Amino acid sequence: MEVILNSDVKGLGYKYDIVTVKPGYGRNFLIPRKIAVLATESNKKVQAETLKQRAFKEEKIRTEATGNVAKIEALSLKVGAKAGESGKIFGSVTSIQVADALKKAGFDIERKNIEMAAEGIKNLGNYSAKVRLFKEIVATVNFEVVAE
């Protein structure tokens, strides 16, 4: 079954992509939740027209993202967290705190686009995370978790 995605789906595709999925997944999950629409001939024509109009906007976003890769990789962020004497953090540092630190540095990036190696960082130290700026454009940001 072919469907046209209405939003990005991790592991499946990006918005406006035509993908092939199993019929049950398409009928019971994607289409009822408005994540995708059935790829009929008329929907394909509408999607093609939409892609033509978005091509210029996407090129602008792509060049901006490419320029920001070097700036983000040059950053050295500090993420503050309450910690004990041994360097163990009360709670954990997640992508939310990294997104806030990036926002303070001037980059407005959603937390869902930040992928950390560890699910939650529980110790002080230096870490890195991958930031997806645009579809396949990924930057690595280094940050240090310090005690507040």
77-122 pLDDT, tens digit per residue, is 999 999 988 888 988 898 999 999 999 999 999 988 999 877 778 8
pLDDT over threshold 90, residue 25? yes
pLDDT over threshold 80, residue 62? yes
Q: How far, rounded to the nearest angstrom, does the alpha carbon of residue 22 sit from its chain's CA centroid?
A: 25
Token pair recorded at residue 104: 């303070």
The residue extents of the domains of the chain are 2-63, 67-147
What is 67-147's CATH superfamily? Ribosomal protein L9, C-terminal domain (3.10.430.100)
Closest CA to 130 of 118, 145, 144, 146: 118
CATH T-level topology, domain 2-63: Ribosomal Protein L9; domain 1 (3.40.5)
Q: How far apart are CA 92 and CA 137, in angstroms?
A: 28
- Residues in Cβ contact with 23 at an 8 Å cutoff, skipping those fewer than 6 apart: 1
123-134, pLDDT tens digit by residue?
899 999 999 988
**pLDDT of res. 51:** 87
**pLDDT of res. 52:** 87
